[in-house]
Amino acid sequence: MSGSVGGSGKTIRIGGASAFWGDSMVAAPQLLAQGEVDYLIFDYLAEITMSIMARIRAKDPAQGYATDFVTVTMKRLLPDLARRKVKVVANAGGVNPAACAAAIRAMIAEAGLSLKVGVVLGDDLLPQIEILKSRLEPMEADAEMPARFMSANAYLGAAPIAAALKAGADIVITGRCVDSALCLGPLLHEFGWSLEDFDRLAGGSLAGHIIECGAQASGGLFTDWREVPDWDNIGYPIAEIAEDGSFIVSKPRGTGGLVSFGTVAEQLVYEIGDPACYRLPDVTCDFSAVKIEDLGDNRVRVSHAKGRPPSDRYKVSATYLDGFRAVAHMTIGGIDAREKAERSAEAILKRTRNIFAMMKLGDYRATSIEILGSEAMYGPQASAGARASREVVMKLAVSHAEKTALEIFAREIAPAGTSFSPGTTGFFGGRPSPQPVVRLYSCFIAKATLPLSLDTDGHAQPFETPLIAGNTDGPAAGQPNLTALPAGSRKTVPLVRLAYARSGDKGNDSNIGVIARKPEYLPAIRAALTVEAVAGWFAHLVEGPVERFEWPGINGLNFLLHQALGGGGIASLRNDPQGKAFAQMLLDFPVPVPVDWPI
């Protein structure tokens, strides 16, 4: 397991076994049996996951963590973990990491094993939120602080994870921490890196960023999806990290999927803003010059990450309740199906608004009509053929301050089956159920004000996080490839012929990373994908400004689309509340290229 890459010294092999709460149960057993790993890391948490766990804990103080991590994953893996001496780091603790750790300790005792469990505590601000409110700094200056929070958690770093491992923990459970810390913590422990060795910290964080989304690095969601074999047996990613912070990405032999320059580059750009200034609690990363080398045989080397001091603040992700939402779906077929579906949705809204007025319930806060199957998300870029589809799904989403209003809305969906459009059928899931709208409030808190603790023997002890901070600013990414296109005649090709692309989300913002398939394609891509052009392409979806960043290390560009997701997460009424399809939509963008390019 631990070994060397090309004789260059010690390396640590870490497998990415979970991308989210609900990832496939095949990942961890596959990596453990076939991956020859030293560590397995499990990422379970997103902003919405924290709020769901907070609601569960409110009903039962013993809950609030990823129970299936304990009852399904650990129950199956514990004997093999002990036999193979593979360690685990997981943020499965959610809003109750102590309870998660206690459940695993009980299971270990029942199995007669001697594995030691460590737990990191202190990210949860909710128990003392009234005291801490005055110390929270909003991320956006004009953001109004909610009166009441459902959850409030600081994104912790890797130092307490490393300390738990140093204390002998075989399994480390955390609450909210940055995803990459799950990987960086073991590296701090194994290599003894200084917390001021910022380039190595950036490299270790990048390794975590690449593998924390599971199969997204090994062929999942890849632009060239036809090249990815055996989706059913897709291999989960392994990072083999060297002491200098460089690493090789691979997957278990005999598995499906694909590890290539394209798959790794797409994961590199995922959920990134400015690639020269990616802020984490341990280090401010500069990924703009990162080099990705395809070694063949599903092995890719990643290097040249740079780092600067971190900020003296933690980011805090808080959520709060803001009314209710409901979503209705029904299939409508036949001639002019799209028009019939739109009229049906409008009739339901008008009818329910009339009822609300009679009952003095007030209007909807927001409504969204999307006719699925007619390329609704494409807006003005929708094809004529899709708009003329003879089989569509009417998706009608609404939000309201009062649950009673949405119960009325839910009852008024089924009457469309006999009242409105011919060809109405297929009511998905029956009557829609009102659900709470959970919104995100992002802010900062000074690291010095947040006490952390560490429990490696059943008793929590204070943990003093070294407060290393400095100037996080750095130079913008360079622009090494500004070669003008040769003069002459032009033809137009879709962007997908020239580039890979992947999109991601952060709250209500979305990013789209674009990577040239060949360096010589970048000038044509840059000339076509101006800020104004991309803003216009997504004008029907994006309410804020669009930024463009250079990414010279991978011959790419990164676009940050502000206020692009209708609120993002569960607060959004859209069919794509996380911008998952944004990159696919941009890959249709027409790009002028020299007529003699063999594309």
Q: What is the DSSP letter of 420?
A: S
142 vs 474, which has greater pLDDT? 142
Which CATH architecture group holds 490-594?
A: 2-Layer Sandwich (3.30)
Whether the Cβ atoms of residue 387 and residue 586 lie closer than 8 Å to each other: no
Residue 483: the pLDDT is: 74
Residue 478: the pLDDT is: 59
Pairing label, strands 87-90, 171-173: parallel
In the block, residue with structure tokens 């900062």: 444
pLDDT over 70 percentage in the chain: 97
b/e burial code for range 157-181 (CB count within 10 A of at least 16 → b): bbbbbbbbbebebbbbbbbbbbbbb
Q: Judge residue 135's burial from the number of C-beta atoms within 10 Å of its C-beta, 0-12 exposed, 13-18 middle, 19 or more buried.
A: middle
- Across the strands, what pairs with 444? 137, 315
Q: What angle do CA 292, 90, 308 make, to 5 degrees?
A: 45
Residues near 404 by beta carbon (within 8 Å), at least 6 away in sequence: 361
Helix, strand, or coil (residue 306): strand
Nearest one of 334, 280, 313, 40 to 157, comparing CA atoms:
280
Mean per-residue pLDDT over the chain, rounded: 95
pLDDT 10s digits, 107-147: 999 999 999 999 999 999 999 999 999 999 999 888 899 99
Amino acid identity, position 260: S
Q: What angle do CA 431, 434, 438 make, to 5 degrees?
A: 145
Give residue limits of the domains in the chain. 11-317+442-463, 335-422, 490-594
pLDDT over 90 percentage in the chain: 89
Strand positions, DSSP E, 390-459: 391-400, 424-427, 435-446, 452-455
Amino acid identity, position 194: S
Indicate if the pLDDT at residue 21 is higher than 90.
yes
In the block, residue with structure tokens 């990596």: 31
Q: Judge residue 257's burial from the number of C-beta atoms within 10 Å of its C-beta, 0-12 exposed, 13-18 middle, 19 or more buried.
A: buried
H/E element, 55 = helix 47-59
Strand positions, DSSP E, 309-434: 313-333, 366-372, 391-400, 424-427
Whether the Cβ atoms of residue 256 and residue 230 lie closer than 8 Å to each other: yes
Give CA–CA dist 18/32, Å, rounded.
13
Give the other-Cβ count within 10 Å of 199's Cβ.
18
Residue 58: the pLDDT is: 85
Whether the Cβ atoms of residue 566 and residue 540 lie closer than 8 Å to each other: no
Helix, strand, or coil (residue 351): helix
Averaged pLDDT, 46-73: 90
pTM recorded for the entire structure? 0.95
507 vs 354, which has greater pLDDT? 354
Angle, helices 159-166 vs 181-191, to 10°: value is 50
Averaged pLDDT, 311-318: 96
Give the other-Cβ count within 10 Å of 95's Cβ.
29
Averaged pLDDT, 73-77: 96
> How many residues in total does the chain contain?
599
Query: Where residue 470 falls among pLDDT bands split at 50, 70, 90?
Result: confident
Residue 442: the pLDDT is: 95
Pairing label, strands 546-551, 556-561: antiparallel
What is the distance between the terminal CA atoms of the chain, rounded to a whole angstrom?
43
Amino acid identity, position 100: C
Nearest one of 383, 430, 384, 370 to 576, comparing CA atoms:
370
Whether the Cβ atoms of residue 554 and residue 276 lie closer than 8 Å to each other: no
Nearest one of 277, 299, 279 to 288, comparing CA atoms:
277
Give CA–CA dist 559/569, Å, rounded.
20
As given in the structure block, the two tokens for residue 123 are 């990210």
Count of helix runs (H) and strand runs (E) in the chain: 17, 27
Supply the Cα-derived Rg of the chain in whole angstroms. 25
Residue 103: the pLDDT is: 97
Indicate if the pLDDT at residue 7 is higher than 50.
no
Residue 5: the pLDDT is: 47
pLDDT 10s digits, 400-446: 999 999 999 999 999 999 999 999 998 887 899 999 998 999 999 99
Q: What angle do CA 100, 105, 109 make, to 5 degrees?
A: 150
Helix, strand, or coil (residue 343): helix
Q: Judge residue 429's burial from the number of C-beta atoms within 10 Å of its C-beta, 0-12 exposed, 13-18 middle, 19 or more buried.
A: exposed
Averaged pLDDT, 264-283: 97
Whether the Cβ atoms of residue 378 and residue 585 lie closer than 8 Å to each other: yes
Residue 326: the pLDDT is: 98
Give CA–CA dist 245/187, Å, rounded.
9
Nearest one of 387, 385, 367 to 377, comparing CA atoms:
387
Indicate if the pLDDT at residue 245 is higher than 50.
yes
Indicate if the pLDDT at residue 1 is higher than 70.
no
74 phi, psi to nearest 5 deg? -65, -35
Pairing label, strands 137-138, 435-446: antiparallel
Indicate if the pLDDT at residue 183 is higher than 50.
yes
Give CA–CA dist 126/363, Å, rounded.
32
Amino acid identity, position 333: G
Query: Where residue 40 falls among pLDDT bands split at 50, 70, 90?
Result: very high
Query: Where residue 54 falls among pLDDT bands split at 50, 70, 90?
Result: confident
Give CA–CA dist 68/94, Å, rounded.
12
Whether the Cβ atoms of residue 423 and residue 400 lie closer than 8 Å to each other: no
Nearest one of 72, 33, 5, 17 to 182, comparing CA atoms:
17
As given in the structure block, the two tokens for residue 331 are 């299939």
Whether the Cβ atoms of residue 342 and residue 371 lie closer than 8 Å to each other: yes
